[in-house]
């Protein structure tokens, strides 16, 4: 592996890394553990996890900070000014934060730079949304003036995943703070670094003490406290479907709003009239970027039967040309999977698919390069010969594994593509704009990409249906998800109300 080339070099491993409990940086009360670099298994940071007592204290102190009002009662443009400073600070520290994210989960450096850019853009967007949000004067229907206004909820819990931490955390922290809330962040246990650094940036830019907490550790401990605590007024969660269901259950008992961005088994579709250069590149990017560790990965490929053989030849050649290796190398396409345990899960899925009759077209093994043996690498894998109803085509693998299936016509395609418990994303490759429109409306997915894939805009809502979740992140109106609506009536009648006359 290449030597580290980053500001952290002289400080690794980071020993006794503190957590943030409502602005107090201290050792967590939970068990000690290490955050490992997936590319070689070396220790990046050693810290003590937060425990249930830490989580309870963070919530209670966050509520006290919220009630002080030195953030929640600031005028929107004053909060926005702080969020703009956060965005600019993230940009100024782009390279350092990108390497921190690389150490967190092993993504290639080019990808982590893009994630840092996304986080900065998210804070900037919600700063603008915050200072331009308008309350509403509603139509008069009596001797009164009526208004609709929005106010912060209080304490918001943000529970984030390990695959794109800094971007996911910004997507929850930025609107929560813009709305005037206190936010308690529970990052994935194995990727705590980006969230902790974002908390430091928030403090340095003027977010008052107590308004941000970051509690690394086990979701079964910390997440349980956050979801059930009566002072937590909203939970924003990105992660697995089974955990999302549990959160939804507890939220229903509390009558608490939630947003749940969960799993996916997204179809990507190639018609015989597609631009093949674009389609091959897009399919490869859709499944193998991020090593397939993405909820919107295009993991089910449907190719029109007349094109199937020729397209698959090009796709397999493209997959074999992808560079799997050191995340620090600018030429790397795919870094390691996040952990040894997760790689073993991916390997079990591939073995099951082959046992069920699948044919391996490429990949399906750990790379042979001696320099990669200490990391959690896996080669880009393509399997064909399975039915859409078989397990490897229905269950989320969350790794670099693509299953390819031919289809005959639009109705056949729609039936197969929609035959899934998930409905998060889909992709279409065709030159026929009428067909693209028709199928984009028929496919059951929260996002449909047409002649592109895995592109995002913070201004456009994102989320899924069914087992892929509920609620939306991003988009101007998602700011309102972190606020409560109130109606005001201003009486204009000159005489007392006639009821008691």
Tokens of residue 233, six digits: 């007024």
Rounded to 10 deg, the angle between the 109-132 and 165-178 helix axes is: 10
* Helical H segments across 363-455, by residue range: 391-394, 410-417, 433-442
Tokens of residue 436, six digits: 């693209």
Look at strands 425-429 and 447-450 and give their pairing. Answer: parallel
End-to-end CA distance of the chain: 87
d(CA 427, CA 270): 8
| Contacts of 126 by beta carbon, 8 Å cutoff, 6+ apart | 83, 174, 175, 177, 178, 479
Whether 253 is a known active-site residue: answer no
Whether 473 is a known active-site residue: answer yes
| Contacts of 375 by beta carbon, 8 Å cutoff, 6+ apart | 1, 38, 39, 40, 41, 106, 336
Residue 323's nearest CA partner among 166, 163, 109, 167 is 109
Look at strands 465-466 and 422-423 and give their pairing. Answer: antiparallel
In this structure, the chain runs to a length of 501
| Among 6, 107, 130, 172, the one annotated catalytic | 172
Whether 434 is a known active-site residue: answer no
Residue 294 CA: distances (Å) to CA of 99, 168, 386, 415: 20, 12, 22, 24
The DSSP 8-state label assigned to residue 4 in this structure reads P
| Among 189, 197, 293, 473, the one annotated catalytic | 473
Whether 131 is a known active-site residue: answer no
Look at strands 425-429 and 43-48 and give their pairing. Answer: unpaired
3-state secondary structure 274-311: CCHHHHHHHHHHHHHHHHHCCCCCCCEEEEEHHHHHHH
Tokens of residue 493, six digits: 């009648």
Compute φ and ψ for 269, nearest 5 degrees: -120, 130
d(CA 238, CA 240): 7
d(CA 230, CA 56): 10
Compute φ and ψ for 385, nearest 5 degrees: 90, 10
| Among 130, 202, 205, 295, the one annotated catalytic | 295
Catalytic residues: 172, 261, 295, 473
């Amino acid at each position: 592996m290449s030597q580290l080339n980053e500001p952290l070099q002289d400080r690794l491993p980071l020993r006794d890394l503190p957590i943030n409990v409502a602005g107090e940086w201290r050792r967590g009360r939970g068990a000690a553990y290490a955050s490992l670099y997936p590319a070689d298994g070396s220790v990046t940071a050693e810290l003590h996890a937060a425990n249930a007592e830490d989580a309870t204290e963070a919530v209670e102190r966050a509520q006290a900070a919220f009630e002080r009002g030195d953030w929640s009662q600031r005028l929107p443009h004053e909060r926005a000014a702080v969020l703009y400073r956060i965005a600019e600070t993230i940009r100024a520290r782009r390279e350092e934060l990108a390497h921190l994210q690389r150490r967190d989960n092993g993504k290639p450096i080019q990808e982590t730079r893009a994630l840092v850019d996304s986080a900065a853009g998210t804070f900037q967007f919600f700063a603008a949304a915050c200072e331009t949000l308008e309350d509403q004067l509603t139509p008069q229907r009596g001797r009164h003036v009526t208004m609709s206004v929005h106010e912060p909820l209080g304490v918001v819990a943000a529970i984030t995943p390990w695959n794109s931490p800094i971007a996911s955390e910004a997507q929850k922290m930025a609107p929560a703070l813009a709305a005037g809330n206190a936010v308690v962040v529970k990052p994935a246990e194995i990727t705590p670094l980006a969230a902790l650094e974002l908390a430091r940036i928030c403090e340095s830019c003027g977010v008052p003490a107590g308004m941000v907490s970051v509690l690394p550790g086990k979701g079964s401990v910390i997440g349980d406290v956050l979801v059930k605590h009566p002072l937590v007024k909203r939970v924003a969660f990105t992660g697995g479907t089974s955990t999302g269901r549990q959160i939804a259950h507890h939220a229903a008992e509390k009558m608490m709003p939630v947003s749940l961005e969960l799993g996916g088994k997204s179809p990507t579709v190639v018609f015989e009239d597609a631009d093949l250069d674009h389609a091959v590149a897009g399919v490869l990017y859709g499944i193998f970027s991020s090593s397939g560790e993405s909820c919107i990965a295009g993991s089910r490929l449907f190719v029109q039967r007349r094109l199937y053989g020729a397209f698959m030849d090009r796709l397999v050649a493209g997959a074999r040309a992808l560079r799997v290796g050191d995340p620090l190398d600018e030429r790397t396409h795919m870094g390691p999977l996040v952990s040894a345990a997760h790689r073993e899960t991916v390997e079990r899925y591939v073995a099951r698919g082959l046992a069920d009759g699948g044919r391996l077209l490429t990949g399906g093994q750990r790379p042979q390069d001696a320099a990669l043996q200490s990391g959690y690498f896996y080669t880009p894998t393509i399997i064909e010969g399975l039915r859409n109803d078989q397990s490897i085509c229905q269950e989320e693998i969350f790794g670099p594994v693509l299953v390819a299936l031919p289809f005959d016509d639009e109705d056949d395609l729609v039936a197969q593509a929609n035959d899934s418990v998930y409905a998060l994303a889909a992709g279409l490759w065709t030159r026929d704009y009428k067909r693209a429109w028709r199928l984009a409306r028929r496919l059951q997915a929260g996002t449909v990409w047409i002649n592109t894939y895995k592109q995002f805009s913070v201004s456009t809502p994102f989320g899924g249906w069914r087992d892929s979740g509920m609620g939306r992140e991003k988009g101007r109106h998602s700011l309102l998800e972190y606020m409560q609506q109130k109606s005001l009536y201003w009486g204009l009648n000159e005489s007392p109300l006639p009821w008691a006359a």
